[in-house]
Structure 1
Amino acid sequence: MHIVGNGFLARNLRPLAGRHPDTVALAAGVSWASGTLEKDFARERDLLADTARQCAGTGRRLLFFSTASAGLYGPLDGPAREDDPVLPATPYGAHKLAQEELLRASGADHLILRLSHLVGPGQPEHQLLPTLVRSLREGTVRIHRGATRDLIAVADVVDVIDRLLALPLRSGTVNVASGTAVPVEEIAGHLRRRMGVPAVTEYVDAGPVHPHTVSVDKLRALVPGTAPLGLDPDYPRRLLDGYLAEAEPWPARL
């Protein structure tokens, strides 16, 4: 597999570099969900268009990473499925949808993976867990009331990708998530207990919050038996414990 990019996901994909030689993984571009800079979006559009043209010409499959967040799917009454109508709620979500549509129209063989919130050592400092750990260490953590996140270990994502690329998939879209929406308040609370810090929680009312759960039915059907598919109710806690153990030697307080 040829990997385009050198960020968090690209680095974690490197063990697969010697596998799936028919695939190009485009692991570069905008990674900040609150990012709105058009120049950054335009740079990623150009990169995708150029990579898709090359793949169409060589017959290689293009692996593209989109988002399974509410920013893409918008408010839904149930778990977000790949065949649901998509109503982006943020500029980032609208950008990712436009990227998906560009790829589908390119003529290149492709697989689009809509990822939830990846967790692992070395992830960007602006993402949720590094931000929460930093805030807890500083003594005050601010949480949007009612917010949830679907957390999945980046190591589990790489395992899922390896299994998916072994299948004869030459088009399509798949959610890659745990399937469990965890309240951010619970995430912060568990981190606080594990770190043993007396941080204060401040709540922010950011308007109506629509619960967002990601359906992993399609993923389960394609790659049954993989670790992160929401079947283990203890998965979020183990993921958070693993993150802290790799990030810093916090005392094991439960």
Structure 2
Amino acid sequence: MEIIGRGFLARNLASLGTRHPHVTALAAGVSRTGDVGQDPYQREAALLYETIERCRRLDRTLLFFSTASASMYGGTGAPGREDGPVYPQTPYGHHKLALETVVRLSGVRHLILRLSHVLGADQPAHQMLPILIGAVRSGRVEVHRGACRDVIDVADVVPVIDTLLLAGVHDQVVNVASGVAVPAERIIDHVAARIGGPLERRFVDRFSHYQVSLEKLSELTGGKAGQRFSKDYYKDVIDGCLNAAL
């Protein structure tokens, strides 16, 4: 596998570096869901166009990473399905959906993976869990009442990618997630319990409840992937990150 990028996801994909020689994974670009301005989005789009041309010239499969977060599925009010309607909630969601369209219409062989919140050691400071850890340590956190998050360990994501590629899946959009919608308050509770200390909570009504469907992932892999994780899986994932960070 050819891996474009040097960040968190790219580093974890390195274990597949000697496998899937026909695949180019674009693991670079915008990785924060907040407002970053237009320049980073434009740079990612330009890199995607270059990568598409490279894949076309060399007859390679493009592996592109999109999002299965609330930025994509938070406005549906229904299980987030790859073939269902989506109403992106943020500029990040709109951007990823637009790039998905570019990939699908490019004519190159491709696989688009919509990833939920991928957690692991050495994550960038601007991503969800490091931000939350910093807030809890500061003693003040903003709680989005009614919001939820689907989190998955990067160590569980990489084998799923391997399984999809071994199965020859292409020209598809596929969710990769735990399948468990965890209320944001429970995630905060768990981090706070692990770190300890007083915590002031400021509640904000920002409803974004969603459920990521894994039906397609299961079908495409013959049941080898796409099984929902346990309801307490998120605790194990967070504990692994905290053990590495504390």
* TM-score scaled by length of structure 1: 0.91
1:129 corresponds to which residue?
A: 129
1:62 & 1:229 partners in 2: Cα distance? 25
- Which residue of 202, 209, 212 corresponds with 1:211? 209
The aligned counterpart of 1:188 is 188
- 1:175–1:219 Cα contact (<8 Å) kept: yes
2:81 is matched with 81
- Is the Cα–Cα contact under 8 Å of residues 180 and 229 in structure 2 kept in the other structure? no
Structural mapping, 1:63-78, within 5 Å: 63-78=63-78
The equivalent of 1:238 in structure 2 is 236
Kept in 1, the 8 Å contact 2:218–2:227? The answer is yes
Report how far residue 138 of structure 1 moved: 1.5
Unaligned runs of 5+ in 1: 249-254
Displacement of 1:225: 4.3
Q: Tell me how far apart the structure 1 counterparts of residues 182 and 136 of structure 2 sit (CA, whole Å).
A: 18
Q: Aligned partners of 1:193 and 1:73: how far apart in 2?
A: 29
Residues 53, 106 of structure 1: 8 Å contact kept: no
Q: Give the 5 Å matches for 1:43-122.
A: 43-122=43-122
The question of whether the paired residues in 2 share the 8 Å contact of 1:2 and 1:24 is answered with yes
Q: Which residue of 2 aligns with 1:38?
A: 38
Distance 2:227 2:134 in 1: 28
Indicate the SS of the match to 2:146.
coil
**Partner AA of 1:40 in structure 2:** P
Conserved 8 A contact 2:111-2:171: yes
Identity over the aligned pairs, expressed in percent? Answer: 50
Deviation (angstroms), 1:74: 4.8
Q: What are structure 2's unaligned runs of at least 5 residues?
A: none
> For 2:62, what is the secondary structure of its paired residue?
strand
Partner of 2:174: 174
Asked whether the equivalents of residues 143 and 185 of structure 2 are also in contact (C-alpha less than 8 Å), the reply is yes
Amino acid at match of 2:241: Y
TM-score by length of 2: 0.94
Alpha-carbon distance between aligned partners in 2 of 1:24 and 1:11, rounded to the nearest angstrom = 14
Identify the range of structure 1 (22-31 vs 189-198) with the bigger mean alpha-carbon deviation.
189-198
